[in-house]
């Protein structure tokens, strides 16, 4: 087992540091480990079989649908209306534009399910406006990047679908509902940081809008927000599956973006479809190779050995969960969420269950943990998108991000050690 683990990790990290695409890192590391116990032809055959088997899931069909609906939402004028709605709700509070940024990312994440899409769509509108009001560019970019991670927890979220598959049967509907309270808690924590930061820096307070204008801005965003009720409500009520909900989300976002708001031209649909195909292909390649790696991990009994090793360190759930969190925080800084979930769920979920942690609770904890990795150097994808949108250097963002990292870690600890934050709402709706 020791040799297998060393070969697997060695090949993976060597290729990763050589800047090889991560799906190839995973696939080649898996193949190299297989060659320790079988010849080349059986190893290649097994790798192909496990990759194909990893994609043989009806639930995975939801991913291309939600990717496409997210792209349509991002380009269809939805972000602008959500920002105006957020402005009407919190714009007059201390640090108003930063709070608007956070709330807009939460609302957009609840529709698109993509942190990168939220960073790009919300950042394109909010960052120039924040600059006009005297906000520092690096701070504005940091707020956008940190707030965009709420979209990983507030459904619909593609990473929740991936975790449901990796965990071997956790309900996607239950995961979707379980993400609301942690996602809102994370957003509120970031808002508290932004309000305190605004007072220290003396950032301006927005003008209070007339009540009539507030209602009109909220009303303009209602068609976009209704998608949450239609999609999540339908899943909870059992009217359709997560995959069918994804298809409905595509139709709904198409009607809004093309026919109602008319901000996506018919000529643009080809580019949007091509982009969604490209994104889906990248995600599915990661899922396929990660499924093969999960198999070789199980074949070599590596998860069982790690589980025994962790439990040998301590039988205290507080200590073990803290160790798991610290490991995942490091993993998230170097690896994208999808392969991280697929690779480490089979390793750490059995340990968590041994400690009495439910798969639902562990899933939300894991997703929140790895969401922090999206804004952590050196690999954080959301971090680099925010840098590009704001036209600032990565090192300029680190200082304003520090209090936000602290807030995110506090929320992570709360979610880890207070299971009710994740489990209460699913139990209320009967999931």
Q: Is 27 within the bounds of a domain? A: no
Q: Is the dihedral of CA 56, 62, 65, 67 positive or negative?
A: negative
> Are the C-beta atoms of 383 and 395 separated by less than 8 Å?
no
pLDDT of the residue at 365: 93
Q: What is the pLDDT along the chain (431 residues), one digit of tens a residue?
A: 567 778 887 888 888 778 788 788 888 888 888 888 888 888 888 888 888 887 877 777 777 887 788 778 777 667 777 777 777 776 667 667 788 888 888 877 767 666 777 777 777 777 777 777 777 888 888 888 888 888 888 887 778 888 888 887 788 888 888 888 998 899 899 988 888 887 777 766 666 666 777 777 777 777 777 777 777 777 777 777 777 887 888 888 888 888 887 877 888 888 888 888 887 888 788 888 888 887 887 777 777 777 777 777 777 888 888 988 988 888 887 777 887 888 888 888 888 888 888 999 999 999 999 988 888 876 677 777 788 777 778 777 888 888 989 999 999 999 999 999 998 888 887 77
Q: Is 294 within the bounds of a domain? A: no
Q: How far apart are CA 197 and CA 403, in angstroms?
A: 9
Q: Is 340 within the bounds of a domain? A: yes
Q: How far apart are CA 137 and CA 149, in angstroms?
A: 19
Q: How far apart are CA 76 and CA 276, in angstroms?
A: 15
Q: Please state, as a whole number, how many other Cβ atoms lie within 10 Å of the Cβ of residue 389.
A: 21
Q: Which of 423, 421, 414, 380 is nearest to 398 (CA)?
A: 380
Apex 430 CA angle, 351 and 416, nearest 5: 30
Q: Is 3 within the bounds of a domain? A: no
Q: Is 271 within the bounds of a domain? A: no
Alpha helices (H) in 113-260, listed in sequence order: 115-132, 137-148, 158-166, 172-178, 180-201, 211-237, 242-254
pLDDT of the residue at 316: 82
Our CA dihedral for 263, 264, 267, 269, rounded to 10 degrees, sits at 180
Q: CB within 8 A of 208, min separation 6: which ones? A: 92
pLDDT of the residue at 95: 65
Q: Is the dihedral of CA 320, 176, 288, 13 positive or negative?
A: negative
Q: How far apart are CA 284 and CA 63, in angstroms?
A: 9
Q: Is 51 within the bounds of a domain? A: no
Residue-number span of the structural domain to which 155 is assigned:
59-264+300-428
Please state, in angstroms and as integers, the Cα–Cα distance from residue 144 to each residue in 140, 149, 399, 422, following that order. 6, 9, 14, 25
Could you give the number of structural domains in the chain? 1
pTM of the model: 0.81
Angle at which helices 96-112 and 62-75 pack, to 10 degrees?
140
Q: CB within 8 A of 137, min separation 6: which ones? A: 127, 131, 390, 391, 392, 396
Q: Is 28 within the bounds of a domain? A: no
Q: What are phi and psi of 63, to 5 degrees?
A: -65, -50
Q: Which of 103, 106, 100 is nearest to 129 (CA)?
A: 100
pLDDT of the residue at 412: 94
Q: How far apart are CA 400 and CA 406, in angstroms?
A: 11
pLDDT of the residue at 363: 92
Q: Is 248 within the bounds of a domain? A: yes
């Amino acid at each position: 087992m020791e040799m297998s683990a060393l070969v697997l990790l060695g090949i993976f990290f060597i290729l990763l540091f050589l800047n090889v695409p991560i799906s190839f890192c995973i696939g080649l590391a898996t193949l190299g480990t297989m060659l320790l116990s079988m010849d080349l032809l059986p190893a290649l055959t097994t790798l192909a079989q496990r990759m194909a088997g990893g994609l043989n899931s009806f639930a995975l069909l939801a991913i291309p649908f939600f990717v496409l609906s997210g792209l349509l939402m991002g380009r269809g004028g939805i972000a602008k209306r959500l920002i105006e709605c957020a402005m009407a709700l919190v714009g007059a509070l201390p640090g108003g534009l930063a709070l608007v940024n956070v709330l807009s990312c939460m609302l957009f994440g609840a529709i698109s399910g993509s942190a990168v899409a939220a960073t790009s769509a919300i950042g394109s509108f909010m960052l120039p406006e924040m600059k006009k009001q005297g906000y520092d560019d690096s701070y504005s970019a940091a707020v956008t990047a940190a707030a965009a991670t709420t979209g990983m927890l507030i459904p619909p979220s593609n990473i929740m679908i991936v975790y449901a598959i990796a965990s071997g049967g956790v309900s996607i509907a239950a995961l979707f509902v379980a993400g609301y309270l942690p996602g809102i808690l994370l957003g509120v924590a970031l808002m508290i940081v932004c309000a305190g930061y605004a007072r220290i820096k003396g950032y301006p307070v927005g003008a209070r809008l007339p009540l009539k204008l507030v209602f009109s801005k909220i009303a303009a965003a209602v068609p976009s927000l209704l998608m949450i009720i239609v999609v999540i409500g339908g899943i909870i009520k059992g009217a359709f599956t997560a995959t069918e909900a994804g298809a409905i989300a595509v139709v709904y976002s198409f009607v809004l973006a093309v026919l109602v708001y008319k901000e996506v031209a018919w000529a643009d649909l080809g580019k949007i479809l091509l982009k969604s195909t490209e994104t889906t292909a990248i995600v599915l390649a990661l899922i396929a190779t990660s499924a093969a790696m999960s198999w070789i991990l199980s074949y070599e009994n590596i998860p069982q050995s790690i589980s025994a090793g962790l439990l040998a360190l301590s039988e205290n759930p507080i200590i073990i969960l803290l160790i798991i969190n610290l490991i995942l925080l490091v993993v998230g800084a170097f690896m994208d969420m999808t392969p991280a979930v697929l690779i480490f769920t089979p390793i750490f979920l059995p340990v968590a269950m041994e400690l009495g942690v439910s798969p639902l609770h562990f899933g939300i904890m894991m997703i929140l943990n790895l969401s922090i990795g999206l804004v952590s150097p050196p690999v954080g994808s959301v971090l680099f998108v925010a840098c590009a949108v704001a036209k600032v250097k990565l090192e300029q963002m680190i200082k304003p991000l520090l209090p936000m990292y602290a807030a995110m870690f506090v929320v992570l600890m709360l979610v880890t050690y207070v299971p009710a934050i994740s489990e209460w709402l699913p139990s209320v709706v009967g999931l």
